Structure 1
């Protein structure tokens, strides 16, 4: 190129200039025809060689404030660096880019970056930088590594390069604008396609209308639901789609246009005049400065139909529930009626002269009857549990007595299987708590019954511990109950079935042991209702331990004499405890030591014989009936034959197993029924060792006079004329006897109509009215009495075996004054009679 440039001071060579300009024009034309930025820069680098003889070319663009090399040409081959552009960090290489002037760089080079190393790799004598601008704004530069060049050629190349760079900037700007426009058009078409697809494929109806309510467009689903064509809908008023002109539509449109979104239900009318319910969501949007409303609606016909079916199903279920409740009430009455007689007569029997063992037996019958009634109630309550309607009662109760009552229920069955029953209450366990004693006893009875059922030998034990409960009242405690047995155990893989309704561990267990599978499910729900939980630990062939917890509130409790710290009436006396069950003998010895006794324990009859025959003197020996090798009775017989009779012997025997006909009993000072209760043991030892007794429950004597639950003088102090309306002869007899024990004489009728007739014949102060009777039941009889202006108006006390929720309210609404549940309890009867006054 330098050969075509005239020397300094000579006239310009017009031919050379024309050729050069032609080359520049051709180069610009070539890259100006490119249609994409991707092809643009390679064309720029390829065509610039017509005017600038460069060894290497670099295209550099600004990315924010950083200059990056996006492409390189070496030996005519262009390499794009879009994925990994190279920073141009050398200040000298970036100097002057904001100007529009050509920049010539002279040696020496500072090769301190990757870009500089590439550009100046073979140490060219010159480097040219052409800034590229778009609308006066620098966007980058073209870098050239050039060989030797004269000053004249540098001037010519600089001029041509400036023109070239100017066109590069302009064409680049046009290409970018064109590509941006095409990209925007593509996005717009894509959004339009998506909107059209959504508009048409939407499963709900969609209507667009203006602020006057005129419909502009509706989708396919809206036209299908309304029965119009889309063309017919366009131009209609939204109010025309309702059965009658709706004043609400105008108000809704105003609300929506104001910027709100509203949800409502309405009725649409189809083209054929039929209607359907719809759920609607309306909102406003703007397009080209105008406001519009979009209405999205869904046909609720199927939903309304399902709701109607659900209502019908609910009504049918409620009808079935009422029928079930009536059935349960009738069954409750039929079961409770004979149970009323059993428990009532047992209560009367307890008020007669009984020896200690007889009293124990009768009390077991009584407590077992009470437990049976509890089970009946639990069956009735199971439906409440499933329905989430079971409510708990909070009342103070003696925790130890609750455990002992539960043990009494299973004592007979445990004795038949020769199992030991034991229990232990930890030192932190309060004597009395506030809670639902009935539900707690139910859980214990269920778990104890299972333990006895699945244990062939050994023992079933109850342990109770307590810790302060987290949060709540300061007196709140968490009670931890453990019911442990030495039974068959439960496989780990089947434990998850234990607490499910109507489920047993396996089918063979069901066949062998029976059971409904409800017990543990009820226990689980009850423990959860009482703020606790239930779980089990078990080892096959070793036994199982069922744990459950509950929250309760400790309350004040008057300690019985045996449980007072100052009670130590036996100091200086010695007791021997003989039992092969370690839990039993250690528990008894612990009690004895608390009362001041020096206690020794042995685990066999032979060891006891050796001690009792030796030099140590014992004031009393408690010997278990069932022991391997030598039983308690055999031990007593052997000691008697050897003349070792100085130590009083007391036999510990499971209920029903100390036969009064056994001649060996004459060698004993008395018997104690297992599981041994501290109060019984204390009273027995007190009578034997000191000649005194602490309370009315003696070991071998009858109840003292004046200690009856019945107040024989109540009838004199509080006279009442009483009528008993009861159709069951046994319950009639029971009521008459109970009242006579209180000093009352009562008349008896067998139906509601007879009760009405009796009141017409003479006045009564009180009517004990059975609810279920033939001819006229107690509820109807009460209504007749209350509606009569001629009959005297006595206090009417309902007697019922029903145990369902709402019974009390029903009877009181009928005009009854009070409510007593069967079986009758004397204390409840006395409390009710005390509220009565003569008419």
Structure 2
């Protein structure tokens, strides 16, 4: 309900009650005034007309000296009666005369005899005469009466008038009072509504509109409000606040950019030597070693992999919190992806004496549309955790779609459950298990390792996909993590393995003897990258900066360039731009960027500078092979190289 409607809903009842009470008071006042007037007229008629007539006849009788003569007294009294009959016709009031002592009626203009109850009558003195007046019921009819005495003749004189005209007049007053009250309520309501609109509602709407703009645009606003009251003061405060918000947002954006730049630099600085460690460990394992040396080299590679995981977790969390993570939707065979993932993780499970079990429901020959990278990261995290905390047990992974898929693509709900028979989670720690840097027990970090970021990242990724992660656990019996995500699915009539680009890439044959120019300033990373490329049967030539790389490409004979982004003398971005400015076919030489920066936005900027693909450090032979295969599929390099 709008504020104007709320105010009117409050005002109108208050006005109605106030006006009703006022009208009722006016009605009572009018009622008393009319009654008083009628009593005044009735008593005046009695005293100034009736009693004056009687007194006049009595004086004439005394002056003539005939007061004690019954015949003349009766004659004068008859004249009084005739006068009263005429007065009754003129005033429509009835008059009666009775013996004061016996209450016997002597004369009456009313057709029927009546008796008055004057017990509660009001008494007053008018023209030196005592008068009693009030309201009574005579023959089931309400009447107004006034009584007085005429002592010389021992009379009780009464004047009557029906109460019906008075009641009719009061009824009219009541209706008029009600109409005036209702009219007043309507007029006052309209006026209050207008005043409220101008002085309250309109300023509030302006402030509300300004607040909405602040929430959306985070910019300074100006509110066209000249009032000097509390709302005007609030508008000024909102304007000042909007300026501060604009300033704070600008500072936050600047800080966020600085944070991103810092993470990009730190990512590069950490990943660069880490690339050398992992690469050299991989190369070392391919050489003849004693068992002890092989174990040392394996531990070295494992330690480097753990360090890489920690770095990736921190970078992933930073990207999510800064809003830089986007959903990259593609269509893929989810069942095949999960099956391959379980196979890949099976090595870790075997090392921990853990058995992996995978089963799916209504996902056979179904194409799912979602972010395959984020789904894979979530599942790897959950399954790896389950394996880590389950020694000599079982980890079961089940996946299903809520609705059966049809040939037409439609919305669906994916549910993946990862259940283990591991150590479980204490009840009081379950609610915090998805908090950053949190594990179920501080001893877990010492015993099993990890940053406590994995589950937090997995949950946030699931929420990015329109779902969530829930957990049920019992200490000593294991845990069950359930992932949900919004996806689209369709049933593939013939799902060929060859239709999956990833599988097709795995089976594609990489051309041999590709002439590769490796531009890398770090000597160790250069050795690693060159050795890995030579494993792919590439002919590798190395330079240590971008200027040399551009000059070598200009000489010709190069099929593809692996270009490190950060190098002295000339960096990889500038070198790529210089290559793109060369004449002829040399400007189309494929350039693959090598970088330790993990942010997708940075990768996009590298491609905008002219690079064809990006390989993120630490470099693996699989990543190099995939990038070369991509160029081969796009016919940028060929078997004739």
| TM-score normalised over the length of structure 1 | 0.46
Give secondary structure in 1 for the equivalent of 2:568: coil
Quote how far apart the aligned CAs of 1:749 are.
0.6
User: Equivalent residue for 1:382?
Assistant: 317
Alignment of 1:798-809 (within 5 A): 798-809=593-604
Give secondary structure in 1 for the equivalent of 2:263: helix
Distance 1:16 1:394 in 2: 118
Distance 1:745 1:508 in 2: 50
Deviation readout 1:480-507 (Å, 9 max, x if unpaired)? 3222223343344543323344444466
Distance 2:585 2:187 in 1: 94
User: Equivalent residue for 1:430?
Assistant: 364
Cα separation, partners in 2 of 1:500 and 1:179, compared to 1, 3 Å: same
User: Equivalent residue for 1:827?
Assistant: 626
Cα separation, partners in 2 of 1:279 and 1:348, compared to 1, 3 Å: same
Quote how far apart the aligned CAs of 1:423 are.
0.9
Distance 1:813 1:770 in 2: 16
Give secondary structure in 1 for the equivalent of 2:224: strand
Matched, 1:396 2:332: yes
Cα separation, partners in 2 of 1:380 and 1:205, compared to 1, 3 Å: closer
Matched, 1:53 2:111: no
Contact kept, 8 Å, 2:546 with 2:575, in 1: the verdict is yes
Matched, 1:323 2:122: no
Cα separation, partners in 2 of 1:378 and 1:176, compared to 1, 3 Å: same
Deviation readout 1:555-596 (Å, 9 max, x if unpaired)? 554579xxxxxxxxxxxxxxxxxxxxxxxxxxxxxxxxxxxx
Of 742, 745, 750, 2:539 maps to 745
Deviation readout 1:735-790 (Å, 9 max, x if unpaired)? 43444455543321111233244456666453321111223211122334455779
Distance 1:484 1:424 in 2: 11
Give secondary structure in 2 for the equivalent of 1:468: coil
User: Equivalent residue for 1:270?
Assistant: none
Quote how far apart the aligned CAs of 1:464 are.
3.2
User: Equivalent residue for 1:529?
Assistant: 464
User: Equivalent residue for 2:355?
Assistant: 421
User: Equivalent residue for 2:592?
Assistant: 797
User: Equivalent residue for 2:341?
Assistant: 405
Cα separation, partners in 2 of 1:528 and 1:488, compared to 1, 3 Å: same
Deviation readout 1:626-679 (Å, 9 max, x if unpaired)? xxxxxxxxxxxxxxxxxxxxxxxxxxxxxxxxxxxxxxxxxxxxxxxxxxxxxx
Contact kept, 8 Å, 1:766 with 1:794, in 2: the verdict is no
Quote how far apart the aligned CAs of 1:828 are.
1.9
Matched, 1:714 2:512: yes
Contact kept, 8 Å, 1:341 with 1:730, in 2: the verdict is yes
Cα separation, partners in 2 of 1:752 and 1:199, compared to 1, 3 Å: closer
Contact kept, 8 Å, 1:820 with 1:828, in 2: the verdict is yes
Distance 1:491 1:20 in 2: 111
User: Equivalent residue for 1:96?
Assistant: none
User: Equivalent residue for 1:816?
Assistant: 611
Q: Give 5+ residue unaligned stretches, structure 1.
A: 1-9, 29-47, 56-73, 78-123, 131-141, 144-156, 207-260, 266-275, 283-295, 355-361, 561-706
Cα separation, partners in 2 of 1:557 and 1:341, compared to 1, 3 Å: farther
Of 521, 524, 530, 1:736 maps to 530
Distance 1:798 1:815 in 2: 10
Contact kept, 8 Å, 2:520 with 2:526, in 1: the verdict is yes
Quote how far apart the aligned CAs of 1:826 are.
0.9
Give secondary structure in 2 for the equivalent of 1:776: coil
Quote how far apart the aligned CAs of 1:180 are.
6.1
Cα separation, partners in 2 of 1:17 and 1:338, compared to 1, 3 Å: farther
Distance 2:585 2:233 in 1: 66
Contact kept, 8 Å, 1:763 with 1:792, in 2: the verdict is no
User: Equivalent residue for 2:151?
Assistant: none
Contact kept, 8 Å, 1:264 with 1:280, in 2: the verdict is no
Distance 2:537 2:422 in 1: 52
Of 241, 244, 253, 1:306 maps to 241
Give secondary structure in 1 for the equivalent of 2:364: coil
User: Equivalent residue for 2:576?
Assistant: 782
Deviation readout 1:501-546 (Å, 9 max, x if unpaired)? 4444466766766644332222222223334332122233322211
Quote how far apart the aligned CAs of 1:725 are.
0.7
Alignment of 1:421-460 (within 5 A): 421-426=355-360, 428-430=362-364, 433-434=367-368, 435-455=370-390, 458-460=393-395
Alignment of 1:71-150 (within 5 A): 128=140
Contact kept, 8 Å, 2:223 with 2:239, in 1: the verdict is no
Distance 1:27 1:76 in 2: 25
User: Equivalent residue for 1:484?
Assistant: 419
Cα separation, partners in 2 of 1:350 and 1:198, compared to 1, 3 Å: same
Cα separation, partners in 2 of 1:827 and 1:384, compared to 1, 3 Å: closer
User: Equivalent residue for 1:166?
Assistant: 165
User: Equivalent residue for 2:104?
Assistant: none
Distance 2:201 2:414 in 1: 58
Q: Give 5+ residue unaligned stretches, structure 2.
A: 1-74, 94-109, 122-136, 145-157, 211-220, 290-296, 499-505
Quote how far apart the aligned CAs of 1:313 are.
1.7
Cα separation, partners in 2 of 1:809 and 1:520, compared to 1, 3 Å: closer
Matched, 1:541 2:339: no
User: Equivalent residue for 1:586?
Assistant: none
User: Equivalent residue for 1:668?
Assistant: none
Distance 1:432 1:184 in 2: 71
Deviation readout 1:107-148 (Å, 9 max, x if unpaired)? xxxxxxxxxxxxxxxxx9x95457xxxxxxxxxxx89xxxxx
Give secondary structure in 2 for the equivalent of 1:806: helix
Contact kept, 8 Å, 2:386 with 2:422, in 1: the verdict is yes
Cα separation, partners in 2 of 1:402 and 1:189, compared to 1, 3 Å: closer
User: Equivalent residue for 1:769?
Assistant: 563
Deviation readout 1:148-169 (Å, 9 max, x if unpaired)? xxxxxxxxx9x9555x533453
Distance 1:345 1:430 in 2: 41
User: Equivalent residue for 2:150?
Assistant: none
Cα separation, partners in 2 of 1:497 and 1:752, compared to 1, 3 Å: same
Give secondary structure in 2 for the equivalent of 1:430: coil
When the two chains are superposed, the root-mean-square deviation of aligned CA atoms in Å is: 5.8
Distance 2:475 2:286 in 1: 47
Contact kept, 8 Å, 1:489 with 1:541, in 2: the verdict is yes
Distance 1:441 1:191 in 2: 65
Cα separation, partners in 2 of 1:198 and 1:371, compared to 1, 3 Å: same
User: Equivalent residue for 1:66?
Assistant: none
Cα separation, partners in 2 of 1:460 and 1:494, compared to 1, 3 Å: same
Distance 1:471 1:383 in 2: 39
Cα separation, partners in 2 of 1:449 and 1:189, compared to 1, 3 Å: same
Matched, 1:279 2:224: yes
Cα separation, partners in 2 of 1:26 and 1:376, compared to 1, 3 Å: farther
Matched, 1:724 2:525: no
Question: More displaced, 726-735 or 507-516?
Answer: 507-516
Deviation readout 1:79-107 (Å, 9 max, x if unpaired)? xxxxxxxxxxxxxxxxxxxxxxxxxxxxx
Contact kept, 8 Å, 2:401 with 2:414, in 1: the verdict is yes
Give secondary structure in 1 for the equivalent of 2:548: helix
Distance 1:199 1:770 in 2: 66
